């Protein structure tokens, strides 16, 4: 990944993450406020509903008090209930009084709870009326000639003569009544009666808190007291729309901010990366040159080693057996010449700087012979009838030379041997360089091919890494078998031509 891209990504991350956290924080806070505001509205509405019901209760009681006064003065009604004259008057009484008082429900019950007169349902006469807990207000389902209806009922007591009576008055609780309670256009008010199994709240959210009222179902008799709830609801579509709006704005804000951040990051990373990239390029060039210098040093040393050996040998012979000098010189002349050739070609290749290896038919045995020269330490077991390989002779020589010099080093002056074996394989030629030297542990072998890994004073640690690269460049493969204290074998396979 380019430095500039990395810089851009880091800028992006550094800017975007806080932005996202900030954005999410705002969104969370907004949602919290909206919900809080909503709860406050609902609580306020619940308070208003309770106050409305209390006011309604007061109004009904006011009417009942007026009715009580009228009844006190009504001798005819007194005559009916005390002496039982004119039943018809009593039956009609509540109906007329209810209309005058502006009520929807009116009952006069005797001390046993039997209905003496009913305004909303004349036929209720003598039935047992609803038994209300206290003075109300109570929600009552009442029977009429046409069916039944719900009423908010309050009650009062009075005496006529020695008898006690109970007056029950109420107003109808219908959809208009509930709509009046709701007030807030976004909120709805609904009654939830006991054993109400309808799912009237589907598609709505119950936002409560509910207000409860005692409830008596008096359609078939006095009934018993249960609890009804007045529930505040809100259509969920509204809240969903609100949430969608918040999310939309949030996404838009994050997107715009992210875009701005990326543009800024792009501009900044270009400004910063240009000089830094120039410096990195310069550094990389220096490193490459350093590597090349080390490689040249290593290769030249390898080319000089056989020359030094021959020179030492000749010096020794000249000193000890001068008569044999011409003969020994002739014997070692080949080694000197091939080493000089090697160094010359090496120099020529480095002069070209990008040495494209010249692949042509190469005789592996010839290269091995040239490389080990007349060394007494290194034995050659050369296979017969090897096919030529498709490789650069110089490359092959560098490979063998590096492996042989490592093998010789591994013996380190002790008794032991180094053998270079060549043999024919399937479509390839195998070159094995084995020694009876110190061998390597698994850990050592793992590092042996690393650049600059060496265990030798004065070693560069580049030999094996060069070998590996050259083998791969020749389409060959490389294997190592090694045992600490026993020795190692490096096997190179090069495709035959
Ligand atoms: N035949 C071997 N037997 C035992 N150890 C080996 C053998 N060949 C390589 N090694 C280990 O691998 C290390 C790396 O070898 P490499 O050829 O890369 O560098 P070097 O030989 O140390 O240095 P240079 O090649 O510059 O002389 C050696 O130092 C040695 O510890
Ligand atoms: Mg080496």
Q: Which secondary-structure segment (H or E) carries 22?
A: helix 3-72
Is the distance from CB of 130 to CB of 136 less than 8 angstroms?
no
- The distance from CA 259 to its chain's CA centroid, rounded to whole angstroms, is 22
**pLDDT for the residue numbered 198:** 58
Give one DSSP letter per residue of 226-295, joined into a string.
EEEEEEEEEEHHHHHHHHHHHHHHHHHHHHHHHHHHHHHHHHHHHHHHHHHHHHHHHHHHHHHHHHHHHH
Q: Give Dmax (Cα) for the chain.
A: 175
Residue with tokens 């990395």: 6
To test ligand 1's pocket by mutation, which of 300, 405, 448, 455 has the most ligand atoms within 8 angstroms of CB?
448
Residue, of 207 and 470, whose pLDDT is higher: 470
Domain 44-238, CATH among 3.60.21.10, 3.40.309.10, 3.30.450.20, 1.10.3720.10: 3.30.450.20
Name the closest ligand to CA 448: 1
SS3 content of the chain, % helix, strand, coil (to 5): 55, 20, 25
For residue 471, what pLDDT is reported?
Answer: 94
Mean pLDDT, residues 14-23 taken together: 81
Q: Is 459 in the pocket of ligand 1 (CB under 6 A)?
A: yes
- pLDDT band for position 455 (50/70/90)? very high
Chain mean position to CA 460? 49
The pLDDT, as a whole number, for residue 210 is 63
pLDDT beyond 60 at 213: yes
User: For residue 217, what are its two tokens?
Assistant: 């179902």
Nearest to 182 by CA among 190, 170, 174: 190
Instruction: Look at 288 and 97; give whichever has higher pLDDT.
Output: 97
CA of 168 to the centre of ligand 2 (A): 116
Look at the block and give the residue holding tokens 């991350």.
13
**3-state class (DSSP) for residue 442:** helix
**Gap from CA of 464 to ligand 1 centroid (Å):** 7
Q: Name the fold adopted by 356-495.
A: Heat Shock Protein 90 (3.30.565)
Structure tokens, 438: 């110190």
pLDDT mean across residues, the chain: 86
Regarding the beta carbon of 406 and ligand 1, being less than 6 Å apart is answered yes
Q: Is 440 in the pocket of ligand 1 (CB under 6 A)?
A: yes
How far, in Å, is the centroid of ligand 2 from the Cα of 463? 4
pLDDT computed for residue 86 by the predictor: 73
To the nearest 10°, report the CA torsion of 31, 33, 39, 44: -150
Over residues 246-288, the pLDDT tens digits come to 788 888 888 888 888 788 878 887 888 777 877 877 687 678 7
User: Residue 383 carries which DSSP code?
Assistant: P
Nearest CA residue ID for atom 12, ligand 1: 448
Identify the residue with better confidence: 189 or 205: 189
Q: Which of 126-140, 176-190, 253-267, 296-310 has the highest mean pLDDT?
A: 296-310
Please tell me which of 40-54, 160-174, 415-429 the model is most confident about, judged by mean pLDDT: 415-429
Chain segment 411-453, per-residue pLDDT in tens: 987 889 999 999 999 999 999 999 999 999 999 999 999 888 9
Cβ-in-10-Å burial (0-12, 13-18, 19+) of 253 comes to middle
Contacting residues for 361 by C-beta, under 8 A, at least 6 apart: 388, 389, 390, 497
Report residue 3 CA to chain centroid gap.
26
Kindly list the domain boundaries of the chain, sorted by start residue: 44-238, 356-495
Rounded distance between C-alpha atoms, residue 190 and residue 81, angstroms? 41
In the block, which residue shows the tokens 């919900």? Answer: 35
**SS3 annotation, 149-171:** EEEEEEEEEEEECCEEEEEEEEE
């Amino acid at each position: 990944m380019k430095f500039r891209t990395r810089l851009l990504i880091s800028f992006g991350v550094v800017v975007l993450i806080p932005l996202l956290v900030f954005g999410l924080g705002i969104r969370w806070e907004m949602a919290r406020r909206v919900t809080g505001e909503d709860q406050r509205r609902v609580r306020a509405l619940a308070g208003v509903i309770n106050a409305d019901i209390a006011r309604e209760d007061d109004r009904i009681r006011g009417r009942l008090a007026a009715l009580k006064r009228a009844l006190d003065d009504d001798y005819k009604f007194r005559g009916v209930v005390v002496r039982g004259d004119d039943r018809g008057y009593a039956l009609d009484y509540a109906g007329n009084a209810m209309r005058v008082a502006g009520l929807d429900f009116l009952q006069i019950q005797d001390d046993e709870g039997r209905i003496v007169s009913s305004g909303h349902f004349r036929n209720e006469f003598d039935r047992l009326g609803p038994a209300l807990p206290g003075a109300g207000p109570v929600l009552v389902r009442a029977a009429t000639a046409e069916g039944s209806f719900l009423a908010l009922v309050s009650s009062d007591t009075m005496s006529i003569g020695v008898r006690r009576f109970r007056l029950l008055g109420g107003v109808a609780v219908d959809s208009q009544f509930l709509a009046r309670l709701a007030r807030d256009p976004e909120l709805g008010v609904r009654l939830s009666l006991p054993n109400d199994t309808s799912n009237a709240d589907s598609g709505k959210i119950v936002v409560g808190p509910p207000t409860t009222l005692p409830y008596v179902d008096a359609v078939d008799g006095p009934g018993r007291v249960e609890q009804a709830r007045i529930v505040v609801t809100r259509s969920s579509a509204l809240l969903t729309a609100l949430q969608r709006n918040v999310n939309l704005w949030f996404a838009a804000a994050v997107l715009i901010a992210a875009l701005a951040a990326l543009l800024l990051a792009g501009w900044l990373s270009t400004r910063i990366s240009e000089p830094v990239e120039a410096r990195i390029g310069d550094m990389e060039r220096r490193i490459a040159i350093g590597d090349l210098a080390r490689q040249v040093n290593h290769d030249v040393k390898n080319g000089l080693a056989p020359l030094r050996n021959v020179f030492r040998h000749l010096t020794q012979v000249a000193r000890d057996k001068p008569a044999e000098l011409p003969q020994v010189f002739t014997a070692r002349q080949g080694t000197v010449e091939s080493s000089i050739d090697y160094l010359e070609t090496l120099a020529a290749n480095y002069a070209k700087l990008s040495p494209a290896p010249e692949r042509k038919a190469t005789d592996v045995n010839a290269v091995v012979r040239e490389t080990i020269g007349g060394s007494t330490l290194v034995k050659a077991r050369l296979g017969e009838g090897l096919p030529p390989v498709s490789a650069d002779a110089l490359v092959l020589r560098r490979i063998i030379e590096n492996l042989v010099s490592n093998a010789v080093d591994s013996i380190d002056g002790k008794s032991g041997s180094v053998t270079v074996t060549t043999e024919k394989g399937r479509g390839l030629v195998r070159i094995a360089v084995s020694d009876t030297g110190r061998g390597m542990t698994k850990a050592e072998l793992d590092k042996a091919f690393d650049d600059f890994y060496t265990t030798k004073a004065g070693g560069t640690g580049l030999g094996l890494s060069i070998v590996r690269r050259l083998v791969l460049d020749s389409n060959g493969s490389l294997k190592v078998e090694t045992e600490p204290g026993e020795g190692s074998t490096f096997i190179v396979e090069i495709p035959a031509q």
